[in-house]
Amino acid sequence: PAARSLFDEPLAIAVQGLGPRQQVTLRASLRDEAGELFQARARYQAGDDGELDLARCPALPGGSFSGLEPMGLLWALQPQKPFRYMLKKDVQNPFVVQLEVFEGHGEPPGRLLAQAQHERAFLRDGVRRVPVREGRIRATLFVPPGNGPFPGIIDLYGIGGGLLEYRACLLANYGFSVLALAFYDYEDLPKEAKEFHLEYFEEAINYMLQHNQVKGPGIGLLGFSKGGDLCVSMASFLKGITATALINGSVANVGTVLRYKDITIPPLGVNAKRIKVNESGIADIIDVLNNPLEGPDCQSFIPLEKAECRFLFIVGQDDHNWKSEFFAVEGSKRLQAHGKEKPEIVCYPGAGHYIEPPFFPMCAASMHLLVGRPVLWGGEPKAHCDAQIDAWQQIQAFFRKHLAG
Q: Which residues are catalytic?
A: 225, 319, 353
Q: Side-chain half-sphere of 32: how many Cα atoms within 13 Å?
A: 18
Q: Distance from CA of residue 368 to its chain's centroid?
A: 16
- Return the closest-CA partner of residue 50 out of 7, 12, 19: 19
Beta strand 78-79 pairing with 37-45 = antiparallel
- Return the closest-CA partner of residue 151 out of 135, 168, 124, 175: 175
Q: Side-chain half-sphere of 336: how many Cα atoms within 13 Å?
A: 9
Grouping H, G, I as helix, E, B as strand and the rest as coil, residue 4 is: strand
- Return the closest-CA partner of residue 311 out of 396, 391, 370, 399: 399
DSSP 8-state class, residue 169: H
User: Exposed, middle or buried: residue 391 (CB in 10 Å: 0-12, 13-18, 19+)?
Assistant: buried
Grouping H, G, I as helix, E, B as strand and the rest as coil, residue 209 is: helix
Q: Is residue 232 within 8 Å of 302, Cβ to Cβ? A: yes
Q: Is residue 146 within 8 Å of 169, Cβ to Cβ? A: no
Give the full edge-to-edge strand order of the sheet including 365-367.
276-277, 283-284, 374-376, 365-367
Single-letter code of the amino acid located at 288: V
Rounded Cα distance, 266 and 252, in Å:
9
- A 10 A CB-CB count for 121 gives 19
- A 10 A CB-CB count for 140 gives 20
- Return the closest-CA partner of residue 101 out of 10, 19, 20, 15: 15
Residue 342 CB partners (closer than 8 Å, separation 6+) = 332, 335, 336
Q: Distance from CA of residue 186 to its chain's centroid?
A: 20
How many contiguous H segments (helices) and E segments (strands) does the chain have? 6, 23
Rounded Cα distance, 199 and 205, in Å:
10
